[in-house]
Structure 1
Amino acid sequence: MEHFLGEYECKLDAKGRMVLPAALKRQMPDVEREGLVINRGLESHLVIYTRREWNKIMDELSRLNQFERKSREFIRKFMRGASELTLDASGRVLIPKSLQAYADISSEVVLASQFNKIEVWSKAKYDEQWENEGDDFAILAEEVMGNLRRREDGE
């Protein structure tokens, strides 16, 4: 599994193209050959996957029982807007207009690494998340990571 590292601020040009940052591109040595997939995230952002990671997700989804309504609904919602991204000669990718609208992206974006994927946020929405953080992160860390430790210890 690939694990990406870093947070990058980028700009979209008038056509909706974005240069993939060199530091991020170095973490994806096969990107030019294999390409990328971009999709809607769960919280009004976008998500970029390498083709290899996307194929793993597709394998998982294909195991869902498509005779169950919730499975079909989830697959439809998850797949909605999924698009291939290919780098042009200048190292740019074109973000589809429908996905830009979904994530409220106009020009400035933040690419935030998340293990095997890269979240794409409107810079304004990304910054908004951190404005009133206060002690929330410490509380969240205790709840999430504290519970993880307890589960590992068998409590």
Structure 2
Amino acid sequence: MFRGSNEINIDAKGRMAIPARYRADIDESCGGALIATIDVQDKCLLIYPLQEWEKIEEQIAQLPTFNPTTRKLQRILIGHAREMELDGNGRILIPPELRQYAQLEKKVILVGQRHRLELWSEENWNAGREDWLAETSGDLEIPEEMQSLSL
């Protein structure tokens, strides 16, 4: 399970070290096989252990293809999905087209979201984080499904 945020550097070859605290879980759950795709709502990448992605991919594939928006989302999510393998040094290679989409340069932020990771450019993460915190500091309308949570 992934949680927390991590400041990481991407090297000149597009490789990024996965934090040590995640590596054992990744090795155990999927043998180091990860899938990255683009996020359709934010300029970041979504990274899943292979078996988690396969569940999502199956759900996406079963959606009706008569709806043009559904077909576009299928093309975007599945079409941009790329396999990545954790190497012996705990690194993954982020494909160039995915780095370009998410505007990833040297400094990135890896954010744990339970069963997936989000990979953000440092600039986009900081800007988004400021906006999200500002939005939640006032009278935030809590979605009904979250009102029963006790934090």
Instruction: Bin the TM-score by the shorter chain.
Output: 0.7 to 0.9
1:24 aligns to 2:22 (yes or no): yes
Q: 1:18 to 1:69 in 2, by over 3 A?
A: same
Cα gap change, 1:134 to 1:13, in 2 (>3 Å): closer
The alpha carbon displacement at 1:69 in A equals 2.6
From 35, 38, 58, the equivalent of 1:40 is 38
User: 1:82 and 1:149, CA in 2 relative to 1: closer, same or farther beyond 3 A?
Assistant: closer
Q: CA RMSD in A?
A: 2.2
Compute the TM-score of the two structures, normalised by the length of structure 2: 0.85
Decide whether the 8 Å contact of 1:85 with 1:93 is kept in 2: yes
Deviations 1:4-61 (A, max 9, x none): 2121111011000001110122333425625000010121110100111101101101
1:32 touches 1:86 (CA, 8 Å); kept in 2?
no
What amino acid does structure 2 have at the position aligned with 1:125?
A: N
C-alpha distance in 2 between matches for 1:91 and 1:111: 14
2:131, 2:76 → 1: CA distance?
31
CA displacement 1:107-144 (0-9 Å, x = unmatched): 1110011122100000111112234556421347x412
State the structure with more CA Rg: 1
Structure 2 match to 1:80? 79
Distance in 1 separating the partners of 2:56 and 2:30: 20
Distance in 1 (CA, whole Å) between partners of 2:35 and 2:85 is 9
- Name structure 2 gaps, 5 residues minimum: none
SS at match of 2:31: helix
- Whichever residue aligns with residue 16 of structure 1, its letter is G
Distance 2:137 2:98 in 1: 33
What does residue 5 of structure 1 align with? Answer: 3
On the 8 A contact 1:39/1:48 being kept in 2, the answer is yes
Query: Structure 1 residues 134 and 25 mapped into 2: Cα distance closer, same or farther (>3 Å)?
Result: closer
Q: State percent identity of aligned pairs.
A: 29
Other-structure match for 1:106: 105
Q: How many residues align?
A: 147
The answer to which structure has the higher strand fraction is: 2
4+ residue segments displaced more than 6 Å: none
Deviation at 1:106, TM superposition (A): 0.8
Any idea what SS the aligned residue of 1:14 has? coil
1:4 is aligned with what amino acid?
F
- Residue 28 of structure 1 aligns to which amino acid in structure 2? I
